[in-house]
Amino acid sequence: MTESVVLKKEIPPYNVFDERCPTRDVLARIADKWALLILARLENGPMRFNKLQRDIQRITKKVLTQALRKLERDGLVSREVFATVPVTVEYSLTPLGQALTETVTVLAHWVESNMDAIVAAQSAYDAANAQT
């Protein structure tokens, strides 16, 4: 009888805990304070470069540009140039970025919603570890 060999389905061995897995680099790029803020900010629609910089306070043009390039390379953000004078550039979430951002937004909101508990924990921790 001919054995029907059931090949183990090759599930992509992506695993963020494997130091060699490229997902780890991607996660590290997303797990960046600026990246998260940018994604969260773009959730409500396209936005120009300067508007982004103004909304996300304390970020320099250089760093914002770098962060946007990385997000663009990973296919999370798209960049569109309009030939106005002076030039206008709009950034928006790609469908891929949109999906990711939903989770990112949950994260940001979670922090806001639980900030009181976090502050309390910090106080307790600091009190317990108080130095002379």
Partner DNA sequence: CCGTATCCCCAGGGATACTG
Partner DNA sequence: CAGTATCCCTGGGGATACGG
Three-state SS for 123? helix
Q: For DNA, how many residues bind (rule: CB under 7 A)?
A: 21
- Give the other-Cβ count within 10 Å of 15's Cβ: 11
Q: What is 41-65 written as a DSSP string?
A: HHTTS-EEHHHHHHHSTT--HHHHH
| 26 in contact with its own copies (CB under 8 A) | yes
- The residue among 115, 121, 92, 111 whose CA lies nearest residue 33 is 111
- Dmax over CA atoms of the chain, in Å, equals 81
43 binds, among its own copies, DNA, none (CB under 5 to 8 A by kind): none
Residues numbered 44-83 forming contacts with its own copies, rule: CB under 8 A = 55-58, 72-76
Shorter beta-carbon distance to its own copies: residue 3 or 19: 19
80 binds, among DNA, its own copies, none (CB under 5 to 8 A by kind): none
37 binds, among its own copies, DNA, none (CB under 5 to 8 A by kind): its own copies
Q: Dihedrals φ, ψ of 79, to 5°?
A: -120, 130
CA distance linking residue 58 with residue 123, whole number of Å: 27
Q: For its own copies, how many residues bind (rule: CB under 8 A)?
A: 56
The least distance separating its own copies from the CB of residue 7, rounded to whole angstroms, comes to: 20
Residues numbered 54-113 forming contacts with DNA, rule: CB under 7 A = 58-63, 65-66, 69, 79, 86-90
List residues binding DNA (CB under 7 A).
Answer: 32, 34, 48-51, 58-63, 65-66, 69, 79, 86-90
